[in-house]
A and B are shown apart, each in its own frame.
Chain A
Amino acid sequence: MQRDEKMKEKGSGLSRRTFLKVSGISLSVPVVLGHRTIKVAGAEVEVYGPGKVPIALTVNGAKHTAEVEPRVTLLEALRHELDLTGAKRVCDRATCGACTVIMDGKPVYSCSVLALEAQGKQITTAEGLLRGDRLHPVQQAFIDNDAQQCGFCTPGFVVACKVFLDKNPNPTPEEIQKGLGGNLCRCGTYVGVRAAVAQAANQYPNRKGGGNQSTSKGGR
């Protein structure tokens, strides 16, 4: 394990001394070490890292592979490994919403999910809302309602609004306000964002006529 610890620094400032120390004994050790298996409570359990391990992520319907340390978040993997820069890194502490993506139908802060944990899940980012060249109704509504200013929070907001409408196709103004409680806009474009959600709701595919769909589908 000591060896992994040192190899993890490759590419991010491996000191000359460490390099010499390690290279003498481990020239043949690959940088990606995968995992080791340990026996606990009568079962074999795989332990990954702390060096890089191979991962596979399904993002916007496409399968991607990368090699990351366990400490890499989904947000970092999306931006740095897969070049999907729609999800933004702002607070990086689960409080601003700029990194919002959809994971298995639920809105999540990608800064607070490890890339390793996101394997096997369906992940949708702002990029994945496009249908060819056509904007998603929520994206079009943001433009029509001037729902952004500097635009940094916008991809996270668009994703949060999309998943909110999936669950609440006929929202009341109060539900819209509450449903977007996980995203911050420092420019203060909330009035525009709420108007955009109301507009998009009118064009929503699974909207039902009449009645208030305030109750959720639950447990998806």
Chain B
Amino acid sequence: MRAFEYASPTTKEQAVSLLGNSWDEAEVLAGGTDLLSLMKDGCVAPKRLVNIKEIRELRGISAGGGGLRIGALATIQELLDNRAVSRAYPAITQAAEGITSPQIRSLGTIGGELCQRPRCWYYRAGYGLLATDEQGEPLVPSGDNRYHAILGNAGPAYFVHASSLAPALIALGAKVRLFGPDGVREMWLDQFFTTPLTADDRETALKPNEIVTEIIVPTALGVKSATYEVRQREALDWPLATASVALSMSGDRVRVARIVMGHVAPRPWRAAEAEQVLAEKAVTEEVAQKAGELALNGANSLSRNGYKIQLARVAVKRAILMAARGGRG
């Protein structure tokens, strides 16, 4: 890890002033479970770390009539332990349960979970975000791509986005608030995620001198939600494919459905066709099956990850059925 200087501001204004205009100037330190590993592997080498954990207003989770506010510094464990969240937003709790290490849940924050960098082993081994050789040729399509993208993978990005909470939050219609030198910016969480076109880009709309301050989730009144994960093992690991589903119900019929898949594309992946097939229908096994197939309609496997297409289909189908049962497995 390269040497750096360290500051621990107590307000978001101070934090933003301590950040720089480029990513090599400064990085934001929250839980640290991803950032410090990235720094040890030389994937990022900031000259300064700005620890935001002393900024009190970024903490806490509050649920009220208007929905849910999750401070960027709320930990995964706090989210998991929050009864109001598990009652009204099972998709969020189930996604948080998939972060299986108690140690990561204690340190890891919501803001950090959304801003974590890809787990792509080429990236982590120093081949750059887009995993290229010295001539700039991509290594993933002909390499070991068993955990790489099956959607949105026409290049140059082939990695999958590592966030497990983002699909659930997007399905529930969440917004994210950012703070920078020009004040507050708010956007749909769906629009926060971007697919990098160059190795210097990031996977979010966050600028080097901005911080995530909070996530706002609208009320879940009349909404049934669930997250289903397909994973290799129960212990600490990222899932192979996940689906988060939110169904706005009118009686026993679906009014509007939102389906978002995780770990299948360089960004959380919305399945619009599958959403439409659920509209104005009662949820049955057949409809859920159909939605799973439609969700993966545009999928393209690389040389070694064809199996993920079927896993994602099943994840979508089971998440829909779970949501219809009120989030129960």
Contacts and interface: CB of A to CB of B under 8 A. Distances in A.
Interface in A43-99: 43, 45-51, 69-71, 73, 92-95, 97
B102 A41 contact: no
A70 B8 CA distance: 12
A39 to B, nearest CB: 9
A5 interface: yes
A207 interface: no
A189 interface: no
For chain B, the bracket of interface size reads 35 or more
A132 interface: no
Contacts of A163: 102
Contact of B234 (A109, A116, A181): A181
B3 A108 contact: no
A70 B47 CA distance: 11
B7 A48 contact: yes
Contacts, number: 135
Given A43-B14, A181-B234, A182-B102, A114 B6 contact: yes
A49 B106 contact: no
Interface stretch (B30-38, B167-175, B270-278): B30-38
Interface in B306-327: none
A164 B40 contact: no
Given A43-B14, A49-B5, A219 B78 contact: yes
A73 B103 CA distance: 16
A160 B40 contact: no
Contacts of A211: none
Nearest to A53: B6
A176 B49 CA distance: 36
A117 B100 contact: no
A112 interface: yes
Contacts of A216: 81
Given A109-B33, A114-B29, A219-B78, 6 more contacts: A1-B5, A43-B14, A94-B104, A97-B236, A103-B106, A178-B100
Across the A-B interface, give the 7 residue pairs with the lowest CB-CB distance, nearest first.
Answer: A182-B101, A40-B17, A218-B81, A70-B6, A50-B3, A41-B13, A181-B100
